[in-house]
Structure 1
Amino acid sequence: MKTLASEVGIEEEKHLILLTLNDYLQGRPVKDIERLRGAFHPDSHIRTIIDGKLVQWTLPQYLDLVAEATIQECQPKLLSYTWDGDTGAAHVQLTFATFRFIDRFNLVKLDGKWLIVDKVSYRQELP
């Protein structure tokens, strides 16, 4: 049976998760490095496939790549998210003029804050 207290807890968790995901979705398109840094755990890893090979970066390496990227118009979108206890997952996309990134995140809640600990990304070229 759901109680008012559990409903409040669910809404609070949703709010906290969305704060982190919005830091990524709003920070990445404009290269707001500090906002991005705040969305990730310092030991997180970012992975993708390039030319059929797994490529991975530490958070500092990834943030350096983002800082060097050209700012382009982007439409960020949260596709889904879920959580159980202190772990969660999210699925987002960033659509640019000629391509989109489709990202899957693993999340953890530490000290009352949700953080991305792992990002797997796919780049889809658009017609």
Structure 2
Amino acid sequence: METVASKVGVEEEQQLIQLTLNDYLQGRPVLDIERMRGAFHPEAFIRTIIDGKLVQWALPQYLDLVAKATIQDCQPKILSYTWDGDTGSAQVQLTFATFRFIDRFNLVKLDGKWLIVDKVSYRQELP
């Protein structure tokens, strides 16, 4: 049976996870590097496949690449998230005019804050 106390805990965790995801989703389209940095653990890795090969960056390298991108209109969306204790996962997407990124995150909760420790990204071209 779910108690009021456990519901409050669930709602608080949902809000905390959403804060982290929104720091990424709202920061990325406008290239707000500091907001994005706040969503990630400092030792996070970002991975994707480019030309059939795994490519990965440490967080500082990734943020440097994002900082050089062009600002474009974007529709960010949280697709799903889940957690157990102090670990979780999430799936989000950023839809631009001609492509979308579908990102999968591994999350950890440290010192009361959820952080992205791993990002795997897929770029989907749109018709």
Runs of 4+ in 1 over 2 A off after TM superposition: none
Aligned alpha-carbon RMSD (Å): 0.4
Which structure 1 residue ranges, 5 or more long, are not aligned?
none
Name the counterpart of 1:109: 109
User: 3-state SS of the aligned residue for 1:72?
Assistant: coil
Name the counterpart of 1:20: 20
Summarize the alignment of residues 1-127 of structure 1 with structure 2, pairs less than 5 Å apart. Answer: 1-127=1-127
**1:61 maps to amino acid:** Q
Give the TM-score of the pair, scaled to structure 1. 0.99
String of CA shifts for 1:61-97, please: whole Å, max 9, x gaps.
Answer: 0000000000000000110000000000000000001
**2:84 maps to amino acid:** D
Give the TM-score of the pair, scaled to structure 2. 0.99
User: 3-state SS of the aligned residue for 1:12?
Assistant: helix
What fraction of aligned residue pairs are identical, expressed as a percent? Answer: 86
For 1:9 and 1:20, the matched residues in 2 are separated by: 17
Which structure 2 residue ranges, 5 or more long, are not aligned?
none
**2:89 maps to amino acid:** A
Aligned pair count?
Answer: 127
For 2:123 and 2:2, the matched residues in 1 are separated by: 41
**2:10 maps to amino acid:** I
String of CA shifts for 1:29-71, please: whole Å, max 9, x gaps.
Answer: 0000000000000000000000000000000000000000000
For 1:65 and 1:102, the matched residues in 2 are separated by: 18
